[in-house]
Chains A and B, each alone.
Chain A
Amino acid sequence: MKQSLYSAPNQYRNLTYHIIFNEDSESKGIYNGCRIGLDQYLPAGVFVNPNELNEFNRLERLNAFPRGRVNIELPTEEAEPINVFIISELTDDEIQMWLPVHARYHESVSGGGMVQYDIGPPKMYLYCADRRLDVCDRSVSPSVTLTCNGGVKMCSWRDIPYTVLTDPLVWRVPVGNSNHFYIIGIGTAFAIMVGTTMVIRAMHDHILKHRRLIIR
Chain B
Amino acid sequence: MDRVSKFIDLSFGNHICIGLTVRLVFILYGNIHDRFSVVPYTDVDYKVFTDAARHLVEGNSPYLRHTYRYSPLIAYLMIPNIIVGREFGKILFSVFDIFLAAAVKSLVERQLGVAKYASVTAKYCALSWLYNPLSIGISTRGNADSFPCFLIVLSIYFLQSNVFKNSITNIVLSGFFLGSAIHLRLYPLAFTFPMYLSLGKYKINRNTPIKEGLVSLLPNKNQMILAFSCVTSLLFITYAMYLRYGYEFLFETYIYHLLRKDTRHNFSILFYYTYLTKDQMSFDIVKILAQVSKCVLLFLLSLNYGCDPKTLPFAMFAQAVVLVAYNSVMTSQYFIWFLSLLPLVLKDFKMEPGKIVYLVFLWIATQCAWLFFAYQLEFKCRQVFMLIWCQSVMFYGSNVFILTQLIKYYRPGYAFGINESGKGIKEK
**Chain A residues in contact with chain B, CB under 8 A?**
7, 10-12, 51-52, 55-56, 59, 61, 69, 73, 75, 103, 105, 107-108, 112-114, 172-178, 180-181, 184-185, 187-189, 191-193, 195-196, 198-203, 205-207, 210-216
4 nearest A-B pairs in the assembled complex, by CB-CB distance: A202-B404, A195-B400, A174-B383, A196-B293
Knowing A205-B408, A213-B424, A213-B425, the reply to whether A11 touches B286 (Cβ < 8 A) is no
Knowing A51-B44, A181-B277, the reply to whether A192 touches B289 (Cβ < 8 A) is yes
- Alpha-carbon distance A137/B286, docked complex (angstroms): 65
Query: For chains A and B in complex, what number of residue pairs have CB atoms within 8 angstroms?
Result: 141
Nearest CB on B from A58, distance (A): 9
- Interface of B (DSSP majority class): helix
| Residue B269 at the chain A interface, CB threshold 8 Å | yes
Contact B38 A59 (CB under 8 A): yes
Q: Chain A contacts of B396 at CB under 8 A?
A: 191-192, 195
- Alpha-carbon distance A200/B385, docked complex (angstroms): 31
Knowing A107-B278, A174-B377, the reply to whether A216 touches B423 (Cβ < 8 A) is yes
Knowing A176-B276, A196-B296, the reply to whether A188 touches B427 (Cβ < 8 A) is no
- Alpha-carbon distance A202/B393, docked complex (angstroms): 20
Contact A200 B389 (CB under 8 A): no
- Alpha-carbon distance A178/B426, docked complex (angstroms): 56
Q: How many residues of B contact A (CB 8 A)?
A: 59
Q: Which B residues from 245 to 295 make CB contacts under 8 A with A? A: 262-264, 269-270, 272-273, 275-278, 285-286, 289-290, 293
- 11 more A-B contacts (CB under 8 A) besides A107-B278, A187-B389? A7-B380, A55-B38, A174-B384, A184-B272, A191-B393, A192-B286, A195-B396, A202-B403, A206-B410, A215-B423, A216-B422
Contact A196 B297 (CB under 8 A): yes
Contact B273 A184 (CB under 8 A): yes
- Alpha-carbon distance A185/B283, docked complex (angstroms): 13
Contact B285 A178 (CB under 8 A): no
Contact B262 A73 (CB under 8 A): yes
Q: Chain A contacts of B407 at CB under 8 A?
A: 199, 202-203, 206
Q: Chain A contacts of B270 at CB under 8 A?
A: 188
Neighbour of A188 across the interface among B36, B269, B423, B424, CB < 8 A: B269
Contact B44 A193 (CB under 8 A): no
| Residue B164 at the chain A interface, CB threshold 8 Å | no
Contact A203 B304 (CB under 8 A): yes
Q: Which chain B residue shows the least CB distance to A52?
A: B38
Nearest CB on A from B64, distance (A): 13
- Alpha-carbon distance A61/B322, docked complex (angstroms): 44
Nearest CB on B from A64, distance (A): 13
Contact A55 B40 (CB under 8 A): yes
Contact B428 A211 (CB under 8 A): yes
Q: Which chain A residue shows the least CB distance to B311?
A: A210
- Alpha-carbon distance A176/B326, docked complex (angstroms): 22
Contact B38 A56 (CB under 8 A): yes
- Alpha-carbon distance A75/B401, docked complex (angstroms): 34
Neighbour of B273 across the interface among A10, A185, A203, CB < 8 A: A185
Q: Chain A contacts of B301 at CB under 8 A?
A: 203
Q: Chain B contacts of A210 at CB under 8 A?
A: 425, 428
Q: Which B residues from 368 to 401 make CB contacts under 8 A with A? A: 377-386, 389, 393, 396-397, 400-401
- Alpha-carbon distance A199/B325, docked complex (angstroms): 12
- Alpha-carbon distance A215/B421, docked complex (angstroms): 11
| Residue B47 at the chain A interface, CB threshold 8 Å | yes
| Residue B300 at the chain A interface, CB threshold 8 Å | yes
Knowing A11-B379, A55-B40, A185-B286, the reply to whether A192 touches B304 (Cβ < 8 A) is no
Contact B322 A199 (CB under 8 A): yes
- Alpha-carbon distance A114/B397, docked complex (angstroms): 30
Q: Which chain B residue shows the least CB distance to A202?
A: B404
Contact B400 A200 (CB under 8 A): no
Among A75, A181, A192, the most chain B Cβ lie within 10 Å of the Cβ of: A192
- Alpha-carbon distance A195/B38, docked complex (angstroms): 40
Q: Chain A contacts of B47 at CB under 8 A?
A: 51
Q: Which chain A residue shows the least CB distance to B290?
A: A192
- Alpha-carbon distance A11/B263, docked complex (angstroms): 22
Contact A174 B382 (CB under 8 A): yes
Q: Which chain B residue shows the least CB distance to A73?
A: B262
Contact B289 A193 (CB under 8 A): yes
Contact B263 A195 (CB under 8 A): no
